[in-house]
């Protein structure tokens, strides 16, 4: 009895592992997709003029009555780093936010509006691919949960297993393409985007890492599901050969 139940227990463990990985991938992808920390960095901007009695390191005060003329502005841009301030920013698929000088909070803008017109089509393709990625991951999760709770024939379980494997692999491919397209669009926006947005320094944020972690979990779930399907098929073939061999032996004895 023990050896007979071992393959079934192993199969159940593999199904649970695949479902866990796929569920993690779904949670990570939704979190990354809805956040705005795919890229983070700083913008170098000229310090504004101090208003009224305001003082401090984040604004510039001129004592002359002509302090706000164009020459003064030119002076600000041509002098050293002490005339500039670095503002932190973070951007995602949907919007980009940066901190405000001398004020609390952030100022946010739609990232789509910042993207160069020539690259907006690629950004929309990336958004559609991300949405399809989430939908396919959700479908794969549902199929895997049905497979775990489905106690009918093994053949029906194999069909569900095969379909969930295909769906998960397609999800992984879509996720990879979506992440790569967004990376390309962001780099083009850094080079060709509006002057009042272009970052001075930037790097990928935690959302970007989470998106690729989601992809890794998705592909691990797909490999586990395919491995389970392949192993079940091989076990069936092995049992069939043993059964055919036993039948041959059984029906050859009367002839002798």
pLDDT digits (tens, 9 = 90+) for 130-188: 999 999 999 999 988 887 887 556 676 778 888 888 999 999 999 999 999 999 999 99
Inside any domain, residue 189: yes
Residue-by-residue DSSP string for 6-73: HHHHHHHHHHHHHHHHHHHHHHHHHHHHH-S-SEEEEEEEEPPBP-TT--STTSB---STTTTSHHHH
Q: Mean pLDDT of all residues in the chain? A: 79
Q: pTM here?
A: 0.76
What's the pLDDT at 51? 64
Inside any domain, residue 227: yes
The domain in which residue 186 lies consists of 10-51+81-233
Scan for tokens 């990232």, then name that residue. Answer: 111
50 Cα distance to chain centroid: 42
Q: What is the DSSP letter of 197?
A: T
Residues 6+ apart with CB under 8 A from 232: 11, 154, 158, 161
Tokens of 171: 């999800």
Q: Tell me, what CATH number does 111's domain have?
A: 1.20.140.150
Confidence of residue 50 (pLDDT cuts 50, 70, 90): low
What's the pLDDT at 1? 38
Residues 223, 165: Cα–Cα separation, whole Å: 8
What's the pLDDT at 82? 62
Res. 58: pLDDT tops 80: no
What's the pLDDT at 256? 43
What's the pLDDT at 179? 94
Inside any domain, residue 70: no
Inside any domain, residue 65: no
Question: In the chain, what percentage of residues exceed pLDDT 90?
Answer: 39
Domain count, the chain: 1
Tokens of 91: 């951007």
Res. 12: pLDDT tops 90: no
Inside any domain, residue 152: yes
Sheet containing strand 39-46, edge to edge, reads 106-110, 95-99, 84-91, 39-46, 201-204
Cβ burial of 68 (10 Å; 0-12, 13-18, 19+) is exposed
Average pLDDT for 65-81: 49
Cβ burial of 72 (10 Å; 0-12, 13-18, 19+) is middle
Inside any domain, residue 47: yes
Confidence of residue 67 (pLDDT cuts 50, 70, 90): very low
Confidence of residue 237 (pLDDT cuts 50, 70, 90): low
What's the pLDDT at 228? 81
Q: Which residue has the higher pLDDT, 51 or 212?
A: 212
- Report the candidate in 176, 180, 34, 27 with the shortest Cα–Cα distance to residue 95: 34
Average pLDDT for 193-217: 91
Tokens of 17: 């592992």
pLDDT in tens, 76-131: 444 444 677 788 889 999 999 988 776 777 889 999 999 999 889 999 999 999 99
Confidence of residue 196 (pLDDT cuts 50, 70, 90): confident
What's the pLDDT at 206? 94
Inside any domain, residue 253: no
Inside any domain, residue 255: no
- Report the candidate in 93, 86, 92, 90 with the shortest Cα–Cα distance to residue 106: 90
């Amino acid at each position: 009895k023990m050896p007979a139940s071992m393959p079934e227990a192993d199969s159940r463990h593999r199904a649970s592992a695949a479902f866990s990985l796929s569920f993690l991938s779904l949670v990570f992808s939704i979190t990354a997709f809805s956040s705005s920390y795919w890229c983070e960095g700083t913008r170098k901007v000229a310090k504004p003029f101090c208003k009224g009695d305001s003082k401090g390191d984040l604004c510039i005060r001129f004592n002359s009555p002509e302090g706000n003329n164009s020459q003064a502005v030119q002076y600000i841009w041509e002098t050293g780093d002490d005339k500039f301030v670095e503002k932190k920013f973070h951007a995602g698929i949907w919007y980009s936010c940066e901190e405000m000088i001398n004020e609390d909070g952030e100022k946010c803008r739609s990232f789509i509006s910042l993207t160069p017109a020539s690259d907006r089509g690629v950004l929309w393709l990336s958004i559609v691919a991300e949405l399809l990625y989430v939908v396919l991951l959700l479908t794969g999760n549902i199929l895997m949960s049905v497979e775990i709770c489905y106690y009918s024939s093994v053949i029906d379980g194999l069909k569900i297993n095969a379909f969930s494997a295909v769906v998960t692999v397609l999800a992984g491919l879509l996720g990879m393409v979506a992440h790569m397209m967004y990376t390309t669009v962001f780099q083009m926006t850094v080079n060709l985007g509006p002057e009042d947005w272009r970052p001075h320094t930037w790097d990928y944020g935690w959302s970007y890492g989470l998106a690729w972690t989601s992809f890794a979990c998705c592909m691990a779930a797909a490999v586990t599901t395919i491995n389970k399907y392949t192993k079940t098929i091989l076990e069936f073939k092995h049992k069939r050969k043993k059964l055919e061999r036993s039948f041959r032996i059984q029906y050859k004895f009367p002839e002798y």
